């Protein structure tokens, strides 16, 4: 029976919440803020794929590139459009594109993919232009956006395919781009478009079916004792060459080039002499195939050595709904490239090549190094003067032997549920004067997770639903100075403040939220932004979540409630935190769910109440913070027998409980559904519906049944959208995930194989330790090839 199954899911849900996952290593967001329609939104009819953003604080605008349109939006309120310009494909181009077999209405359009600053007035813009990329110059002046019609070839700067991942970066007047330079998308390059254009070799040892994710610049020449050069770092995933594996395995990489690279004279002419790459390590708790990098953010520090790359990873096999964030310091990546060992290929059989650590002598100057003091002492001032020996070495061995390890040796965040897609990080000054790095991570289903890592403890402050429909977040930008986030999806862009402290109404909730942006202001008795507070009168406890300093909570009036024998009574109790569990006490004895009591996440039902049920009911919220338990009484009800039930009270739970209304009920009416707090968003019921005392003249049993099934169904719906119940709803969730992944028109394409071969059906098949670099112990071949349908043999000699 459906009611029964719904009820069992509800019970399972609560059981999980309270006993299963709190102790596990995966993070539960403390709060869930569902879509509230109070965020500033920008979208226009007929326009889609709001995928490219450029923040221009100097001009007070957010430049937004979409399909065939570019907008200048007020940076303080993106709903306010200041200017727009359209850039459509010509009919001729569209026709050419359709002849080549692409769809006229989807692929043969102009998707704006590139927006880069050139100078104070001018922006460089590129679009896919019906599979024939094109670039132009754009100005924003006198409230108008103008395309200068100084068209330039976009091949290599911008992808042909509107949905292919790519990355680019403007450094001075040089455009660095990582994309495919052909129609088929099969010839990847890392390109610098400048007076002296450079690119990568067309060799699979350099790039093998890569997916480019992110690029950034690090000014390493500043204060460099060895006279080093500035660098451009690139993050991507590609087919592994280092694993001796009979099927395709994808790995995540970081690569870098030197800004001053000019290519070689004879060897590597017009090619990078400084292209080095290494594997990125981010270990998931269970042994698995290497995870795939989806997005990266560089948190810049005054001292570039302390700048940190934050990277989001998702699993390679489509089965596990788990993501991670790992962070890497610039200095650790730099050290690996500057001092690490190289990998080299050796032929083991006629057609088989293995990549192993290179142990012989390395030529001088060191292959792949920028021109530094060592080179200059050898009278080498430019890469053009590098000896052939150095250049040949690097041409054949661009891969480092070791992998880059994450900062703390482990992920900063692990999360089950909807996959993570994009990340930005803000460095926030808290009340204690220290800086905390707050991560904002977009998900596949339109949420933003706001998380911190307190000395190894993962903590998700809250998750906020920013898109009404579960669309993947494809672009995420942060304006730290404005305290605003901009999240783009296929269907629109939303603007969200980095914090909204007013969501916490009590001191306890404010402190337990452990949000570096927020503290309790004792003078105004409000949870307020730290930047607006004087430290003396404010309470914040980030690492401990210690509420001792909060004023003792107002015990709250005891709420009177009428008991009508034979009826079902609902006592609501709203929790402020997903990490908390409800505990009910009746006359100080714990209440358990049984055939009399029914505990659900929003309160307690007393079925078929009898006279003996009169008395005091207390709802305690018990929250685990940093392995300590925090217990507080949310509300106390006094159930009074009312043989002449003229009076029922609609209580408002919480510390400010007041008698809100007194209503006369028809004696036959049994279920009183009192109103919950107005401001509390996370709980699942349709609250506007329940926000009054029902006056229904329906038979007792019918109503009870209706109510129960309604609550059950609502909870079940809530559970489906809620990762906490992943065990119960895993299959439906991953099915949803796949739908997104394979949707061609969606901007985000999660990397990784499409095949859904059951890996976890027998996890032993996947139990390969990809940590470490030397020896790998692979399962027998038969098992491996069963992992992936693709019988791919990676073989350098094919090149």
Ligand X SMILES: *[C@@H]1O[C@H](CO)[C@@H](O)[C@H](O)[C@H]1NC(C)=O
Contact segment (CB under 6 A) with ligand X among 201-209, 232-240, 434-442, 500-508 equals 500-508
Residue selected from 57, 226, 689, 756 as contacting ligand X according to rule CB under 6 A: 689
Q: Between residues 278 and 478, which has the closer beta carbon with respect to ligand X?
A: 478
Q: Is residue 277 a contact point for ligand X (CB under 6 A)? A: no
Bridge partners, 629 (sequence order): 624
Provide, rounded to whole angstroms, the least separation between the CB of residue 87 and ligand X.
17
Name residues contacting ligand X, limited to 92-131 (CB under 6 A). Answer: 118-122
Q: Between residues 410 and 607, which has the closer beta carbon with respect to ligand X?
A: 607
Q: Is residue 79 a contact point for ligand X (CB under 6 A)? A: yes
Length of the chain, in residues: 799
Name residues contacting ligand X, limited to 555-584 (CB under 6 A). Answer: 566, 583
Q: Between residues 534 and 688, which has the closer beta carbon with respect to ligand X?
A: 688
Distance between CA 420 and CA 473 in Å, rounded?
A: 9
Q: Between residues 219 and 497, which has the closer beta carbon with respect to ligand X?
A: 497
Q: Between residues 205 and 383, which has the closer beta carbon with respect to ligand X?
A: 383
Q: What are the tokens at 25?
A: 């290593």
Binding mask 621-660 for ligand X (x = CB under 6 A): -x--------x-----------------------------
Q: Between residues 350 and 612, which has the closer beta carbon with respect to ligand X?
A: 612
Provide, rounded to whole angstroms, the least separation between the CB of residue 170 and ligand X.
11
Q: What are the tokens at 641?
A: 């027998």
Contact segment (CB under 6 A) with ligand X among 10-18, 62-70, 473-481, 681-689 equals 681-689
Contact segment (CB under 6 A) with ligand X among 75-83, 425-433, 716-724, 756-764 equals 75-83
Q: Is residue 544 a contact point for ligand X (CB under 6 A)? A: yes
Residue selected from 679, 695, 732, 769 as contacting ligand X according to rule CB under 6 A: 679
How many residues sit close enough to ligand X to count as binding (CB under 6 A)?
34
What is the Cα 607 distance to its own chain's centre?
Answer: 43
Q: Is residue 589 a contact point for ligand X (CB under 6 A)? A: no
Provide, rounded to whole angstroms, the least separation between the CB of residue 647 and ligand X.
23
Provide, rounded to whole angstroms, the least separation between the CB of residue 40 and ligand X.
6
Q: Between residues 384 and 557, which has the closer beta carbon with respect to ligand X?
A: 384
Q: Is residue 610 a contact point for ligand X (CB under 6 A)? A: yes
Q: What are the tokens at 523?
A: 């003078």
Q: Is residue 77 a contact point for ligand X (CB under 6 A)? A: yes
Specify the 3-state DSSP secondary structure of 763.
Answer: helix
User: For residue 541, what are the CA distances in angstroms to 33, 515, 550, 656?
Assistant: 22, 9, 10, 24
Q: Contact at 8 Å (CB) between 233 and 333?
A: yes
Helical residues (DSSP H) of 166-302, grouped into ranges: none
Provide, rounded to whole angstroms, the least separation between the CB of residue 150 and ligand X.
8
Q: Between residues 10 and 498, which has the closer beta carbon with respect to ligand X?
A: 498
Q: Is residue 686 a contact point for ligand X (CB under 6 A)? A: yes
**Phi, psi values for residue 41, rounded to 5°:** -125, 145
Q: Is residue 469 a contact point for ligand X (CB under 6 A)? A: no
- 580: exposed, middle or buried (C-beta count within 10 Å: 0-12, 13-18, 19+)? buried
Q: Which residues are CB-contacts of 693 (< 8 A; sequence separation ≥ 6)?
A: 648, 650, 661, 663, 665, 672, 673, 674
Provide, rounded to whole angstroms, the least separation between the CB of residue 670 and ligand X.
11
Distance between CA 735 and CA 445 in Å, rounded?
A: 13
Q: Is residue 137 a contact point for ligand X (CB under 6 A)? A: yes
Provide, rounded to whole angstroms, the least separation between the CB of residue 422 and ligand X.
21
User: For residue 527, what are the CA distances in angstroms to 26, 285, 437, 438, 669?
Assistant: 28, 36, 20, 18, 41
Q: Is residue 497 a contact point for ligand X (CB under 6 A)? A: yes
How many Cβ atoms sit within 10 Å of the Cβ of residue 554? 11
Q: Which residues are CB-contacts of 761 (< 8 A; sequence separation ≥ 6)?
A: none
Q: Is residue 227 a contact point for ligand X (CB under 6 A)? A: no
Specify the 3-state DSSP secondary structure of 662.
Answer: strand
Specify the 3-state DSSP secondary structure of 599.
Answer: strand
Q: Is residue 688 a contact point for ligand X (CB under 6 A)? A: yes
- What long-range pairs does 353-362 form, CB within 8 A, spacing at least 24? 353/794, 353/795, 353/796, 353/797, 354/244, 355/241, 355/242, 355/399, 355/796, 357/401, 357/773, 357/774, 358/397, 358/401, 362/393
Binding mask 695-714 for ligand X (x = CB under 6 A): ------x-------------
**What ranges make up the beta strands (E) of 330-474?**
343-349, 352-357, 399-404, 413-416, 420-429, 435-443, 447-454, 457-465
Name residues contacting ligand X, limited to 364-403 (CB under 6 A). Answer: 379, 381
Q: Is residue 500 a contact point for ligand X (CB under 6 A)? A: yes
Q: What would you report as the CA-atom Rg of the chain, rounded to the nearest whole angstrom?
A: 30
HEC assignment per residue over 444-483: CCCEEEEEEEECCEEEEEEEEECCCCCCCCCEEEEECCCC
How many Cβ atoms sit within 10 Å of the Cβ of residue 179? 29
HEC assignment per residue over 251-266: EEEEEEEECCCCCECC
Provide, rounded to whole angstroms, the least separation between the CB of residue 395 and ligand X.
23
Q: Contact at 8 Å (CB) between 447 and 465?
A: yes
Contact segment (CB under 6 A) with ligand X among 17-25, 72-80, 742-750, 773-781 equals 72-80
Q: Which residues are CB-contacts of 172 (< 8 A; sequence separation ≥ 6)?
A: none
Contact segment (CB under 6 A) with ligand X among 57-65, 390-398, 499-507, 652-660 equals 499-507
Q: Is residue 149 a contact point for ligand X (CB under 6 A)? A: no
Q: Is residue 480 a contact point for ligand X (CB under 6 A)? A: no
- 410: exposed, middle or buried (C-beta count within 10 Å: 0-12, 13-18, 19+)? middle
Provide, rounded to whole angstroms, the least separation between the CB of residue 622 and ligand X.
5
Name residues contacting ligand X, limited to 501-540 (CB under 6 A). Answer: 502-503
Provide, rounded to whole angstroms, the least separation between the CB of residue 85 and ligand X.
17
Provide, rounded to whole angstroms, the least separation between the CB of residue 10 and ligand X.
18
Contact segment (CB under 6 A) with ligand X among 105-113, 126-134, 514-522, 682-690 equals 682-690
Residue selected from 80, 90, 103, 732 as contacting ligand X according to rule CB under 6 A: 80
Q: Which residues are CB-contacts of 359 (< 8 A; sequence separation ≥ 6)?
A: 341
Binding mask 724-763 for ligand X (x = CB under 6 A): ----------------------------------------
Q: Contact at 8 Å (CB) between 299 and 306?
A: no
Residues that bind ligand X (CB under 6 A): 38, 40, 77, 79-80, 118-122, 137, 379, 381, 497, 500, 502-503, 544, 546, 548-549, 566, 583, 585, 608, 610, 620, 622, 631, 679, 686, 688-689, 701
């Amino acid at each position: 029976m459906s009611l029964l199954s719904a009820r069992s899911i509800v019970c399972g849900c609560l059981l999980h919440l309270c006993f299963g996952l709190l102790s596990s290593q995966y993070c539960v967001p403390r709060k869930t803020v569902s879509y509230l329609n109070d965020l500033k939104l920008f979208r226009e009819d007929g326009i889609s794929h709001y995928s490219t953003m450029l923040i221009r604080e100097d001009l007070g605008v957010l430049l937004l590139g979409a399909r065939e349109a570019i907008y200048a939006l007020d940076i303080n309120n993106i709903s306010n459009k200041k200017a727009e310009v359209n850039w459509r494909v010509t009919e001729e181009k569209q026709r050419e594109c359709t002849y080549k077999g692409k769809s006229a209405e989807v692929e043969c359009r102009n998707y704006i993919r590139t927006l880069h600053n050139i100078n104070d007035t001018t922006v460089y813009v590129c679009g896919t232009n019906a599979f024939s990329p094109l670039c132009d110059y754009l100005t924003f002046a006198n409230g108008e956006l103008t395309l200068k019609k100084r068209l330039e070839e976009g091949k290599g700067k911008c992808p042909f395919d509107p949905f292919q991942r790519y990355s680019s970066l403007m450094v001075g007047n040089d455009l660095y781009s990582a994309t495919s330079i052909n129609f088929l998308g099969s010839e990847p390059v890392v390109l610098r478009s400048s007076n002296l254009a450079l690119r990568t070799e067309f060799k699979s040892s350099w790039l093998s079916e890569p997916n480019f994710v992110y690029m950034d610049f690090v000014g390493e020449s500043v204060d460099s004792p060895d006279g080093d050069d500035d660098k451009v770092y690139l993050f991507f995933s590609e087919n592994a060459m280092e694993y001796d594996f009979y099927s395709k395995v994808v790995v995540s990489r970081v690569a870098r080039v030197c800004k001053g690279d000019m290519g070689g004279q004879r060897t590597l002419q017009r090619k990078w002499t400084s292209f080095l790459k290494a594997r990125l390590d981010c270990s998931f708790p269970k042994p698995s195939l290497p995870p795939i990098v989806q997005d990266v953010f560089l948190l810049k520090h005054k001292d570039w050595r302390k700048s940190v790359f934050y990277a989001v990873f998702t699993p390679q096999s489509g089965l596990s709904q788990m993501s991670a964030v790992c962070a890497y310091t610039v200095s650790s990546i730099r050290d690996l490239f500057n001092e690490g060992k190289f990998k080299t290929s050796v032929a083991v059989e006629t057609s088989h090549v293995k990549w192993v650590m290179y142990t012989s002598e390395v030529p001088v100057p060191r292959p792949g190094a920028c021109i530094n003091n060592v080179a200059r002492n050898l009278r080498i001032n430019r890469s053009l003067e590098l000896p052939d020996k150095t250049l040949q070495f690097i041409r054949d061995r661009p891969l480092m032997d070791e992998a880059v390890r994450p900062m703390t040796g482990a992920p900063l965040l692990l999360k089950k549920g909807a996959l993570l897609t994009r990340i930005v990080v803000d460095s926030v000054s808290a009340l204690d004067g220290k800086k905390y790095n707050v991560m904002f991570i977009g998900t596949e289903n339109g949420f933003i997770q706001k998380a911190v890592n307190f000395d190894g403890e993962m903590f998700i402050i809250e998750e906020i639903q920013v898109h009404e429909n579960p669309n993947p977040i494809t672009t995420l930008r942060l304006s730290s100075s404005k305290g605003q986030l901009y999240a783009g999806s296929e269907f629109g862009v939303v603007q969200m403040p980095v914090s909204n402290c007013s969501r916490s109404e009590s001191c306890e909730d404010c402190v337990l939220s452990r949000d570096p942006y927020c503290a309790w202001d004792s003078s105004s008795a409000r949870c307020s932004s730290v930047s607006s507070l004087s430290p003396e009168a404010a309470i914040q406890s980030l690492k401990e979540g210690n509420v001792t300093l909060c004023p003792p909570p107002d015990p709250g009036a005891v709420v009177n409630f009428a008991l009508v024998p034979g009826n079902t009574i609902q006592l609501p109790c709203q929790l402020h935190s997903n990490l908390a569990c409800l505990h009910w006490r009746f006359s100080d004895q714990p209440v358990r769910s049984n055939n009399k009591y029914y505990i659900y996440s929003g309160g307690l039902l007393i079925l078929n109440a009898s006279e003996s049920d009169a008395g005091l009911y207390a709802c305690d919220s018990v929250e685990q913070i940093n392995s300590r338990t925090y217990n507080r009484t949310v509300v106390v009800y006094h159930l009074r027998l009312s043989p002449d039930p003229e009076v029922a009270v609609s209580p408002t739970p919480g510390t400010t409980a007041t008698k809100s209304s007194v209503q006369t009920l028809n004696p036959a009416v049994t279920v009183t559904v009192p109103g919950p707090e107005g401001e509390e968003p996370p709980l699942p019921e349709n609250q506007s519906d329940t926000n009054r005392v029902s006056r229904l003249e329906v038979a007792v049993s019918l109503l009870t049944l209706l109510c129960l099934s309604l609550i059950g169904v609502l909870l079940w719906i809530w559970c489906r959208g809620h990762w906490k119940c992943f065990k119960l709803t895993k299959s439906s969730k991953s099915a949803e995930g796949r739908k997104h992944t394979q949707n061609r028109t969606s901007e985000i394409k999660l990397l990784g194989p499409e095949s859904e071969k059951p890996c976890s059906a027998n996890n032993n098949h996947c139990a390969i330790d990809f940590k470490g670099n030397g020896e790998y112990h692979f399962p027998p071949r038969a098992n491996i090839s069963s992992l992936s349908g693709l019988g791919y043999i990676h073989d350098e000699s094919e090149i």
